[in-house]
């Protein structure tokens, strides 16, 4: 029996896709890649360098020029990977509310998406990959062997992000987080380039009342089922 070569896990902000995708990849012996951090890195760079977010050409040029790396090294502070922009560690900077508020808007710029999507496809071409994002199964890897879309209510997702911030000793406001998630959902759904929605052949999992371990077990079962179907 052969395992699926590429597994696409999509979902809205804070749906848990990054956490469970990383755990699934570890247990399968696959590579894990969270595409969302690349868009966050571009957004952080726009804010850091004073580029006008409304300047589509300026933002796009920056996205094409900066070096974004995602590696498994870094301090043991709860991070799944270390994200660097031109060599600077921005792992936690890209999780700030001001980045949350802008990332959907900037990720809708065609040149930004093209630049990052091409990188993502090259990474996935090696196979044995679990890739998480918002349009992996529909745009980045439409031919992925297994596609999953994770759902969770805005309130549950806000609680998760709020707890994560407190655990990392970072200031957090639940109402602000919830409002940002609701706004982000609307922007992601209405994204003119690649709106967030399940692929027609994606398997949908509602994670509201599930633990991380339970979601991972469901994903492993789907992998095993996929193996049987292709045996």
Kindly state the average pLDDT of the residues 207-217.
94
Q: Let me know if residue 230 belongs to a domain.
A: no
Handedness of CA 13, 182, 179, 48 (dihedral sign): positive
Model pTM score: 0.78
Residue 100 belongs to a domain with what CATH number?
A: 3.40.50.300
Task: Of 1-5, 34-38, 216-220, give the range with the top mean pLDDT.
Answer: 216-220
Is the pLDDT reported for residue 70 higher than 90?
Answer: no
61 vs 228, residue with greater confidence = 61
Q: Is residue 229 part of a domain?
A: no
Do 136 and 191 touch, CB atoms closer than 8 A?
no
* Residue 37 located in a structural domain: yes
Please report whether residue 53 resides in a domain.
yes
Q: To the nearest whole number, what is the mean pLDDT of the chain? A: 91
CA distances from 15 to 9, 35, 68, 114, 125 (A): 11, 14, 24, 25, 26
**Residue 79: which pLDDT band, with cuts at 50, 70 and 90?**
confident
Give the residue numbers spanning the domain of 72: 6-223
Is residue 127 in some structural domain? yes
Q: How many domains does the chain have?
A: 1
b/e 24-51 (16+ beta carbons within 10 angstroms → b): bbeebebebbbbbbbbbbbbbbbbeeeb
pLDDT tens column, 121-177: 988 888 888 999 999 999 999 999 999 999 999 999 999 999 988 988 888 899 999
Nearest to 10 by CA among 217, 221, 194: 194
184 falls within a domain: yes
Confidence band (pLDDT; 50, 70, 90) for 211?
very high
Name 11's bridge partners. Answer: 150
Q: What is the pLDDT of residue 102?
A: 94
In a domain, residue 1? The reply is no
Which residues does 140 contact at the CB level (< 8 Å), separation at least 6?
A: 8, 35, 117, 120, 121, 124, 131, 133
| pLDDT at site 77 | 84
Task: Give a yes or no: residue 172 inside a domain.
Answer: yes
């Amino acid at each position: 029996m052969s395992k699926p070569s590429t597994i696409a896990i999509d979902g809205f902000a804070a749906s848990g896709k990054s956490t469970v995708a990383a755990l699934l990849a570890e247990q399968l012996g696959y590579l894990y890649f969270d595409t969302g951090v690349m868009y966050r890195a571009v957004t952080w760079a726009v804010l850091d360098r004073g580029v006008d977010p409304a300047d589509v050409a300026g933002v796009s040029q920056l996205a094409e020029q900066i070096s974004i790396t995602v590696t498994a090294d870094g301090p043991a502070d709860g991070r799944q990977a270390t994200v660097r922009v031109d060599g600077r560690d921005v792992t936690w900077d890209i999780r700030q509310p001001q980045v949350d508020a802008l990332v959907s808007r900037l990720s809708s710029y065609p040149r930004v998406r093209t630049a990052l999507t091409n990188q993502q496809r090259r990474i996935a071409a090696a196979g044995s990959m679990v890739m998480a994002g918002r349009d992996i199964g529909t745009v980045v890897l439409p031919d992925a062997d297994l596609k999953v879309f994770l759902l969770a209510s805005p309130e549950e997702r806000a609680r998760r992000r709020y707890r994560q911030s407190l655990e990392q000793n970072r200031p957090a406001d639940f109402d602000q987080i919830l409002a940002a998630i609701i706004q982000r959902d609307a922007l992601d759904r209405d994204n003119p380039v690649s709106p967030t929605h399940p692929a027609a052949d994606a398997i949908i999992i509602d994670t509201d009342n599930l633990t991380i371990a339970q979601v991972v077990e469901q994903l492993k079962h789907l992998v095993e089922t996929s193996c049987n179907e292709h045996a």
